[in-house]
């Protein structure tokens, strides 16, 4: 459990990770292990590493192959993180959009820095 002693900030966003069917990209025509990463930069930084949750908000795939997906957040810092999408085998993924939510400690504008 994470406890907060300062105000909490929540930020949300949505990111199209790829649209590979239009140009024959690897997620659509490739086979085996494939991965894509998208960097997300927070509009306002956190004081410490925030909690980040990602989820699929749009998934367009070929129904003739197995549907495989691994979606995660990686390299989380106070200023941003990476959304990581992986697939494998014969899966053919046309496009994916992921939504994210970050929650963590933010600076209290009424808190003074006393040295």
Per-residue pLDDT tens for 20-32? 887 888 888 888 8
Round to whole Å and give the CA distance between 53 and 12.
10
Per-residue pLDDT tens for 64-109? 988 999 999 999 999 999 999 999 999 999 999 999 999 999 987 7
Among residues 101, 47, 92, which one has the least CA distance to residue 73? 101
Domains of the chain: 8-105 (2.60.40.2080)
The band of 115, judged by pLDDT with boundaries at 50, 70 and 90, is low
| Residues forming beta bridges with residue 55, ordered by sequence position | 99
């Amino acid at each position: 459990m994470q406890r907060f002693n300062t105000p909490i900030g929540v930020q949300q966003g949505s990111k199209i990770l790829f649209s590979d069917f239009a140009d024959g990209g690897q997620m659509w025509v490739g086979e085996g292990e494939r991965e894509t990463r998208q960097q997300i930069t927070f509009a306002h930084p956190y004081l410490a590493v925030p909690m980040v949750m990602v989820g699929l908000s749009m998934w367009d795939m070929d129904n003739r192959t197995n549907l495989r997906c691994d979606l995660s957040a990686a390299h989380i810092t106070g200023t941003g993180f990476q959304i990581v999408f992986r697939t494998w085998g014969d899966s053919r993924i046309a496009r994916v959009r992921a939504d994210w939510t970050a929650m963590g400690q933010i600076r209290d504008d009424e808190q003074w820095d006393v040295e």
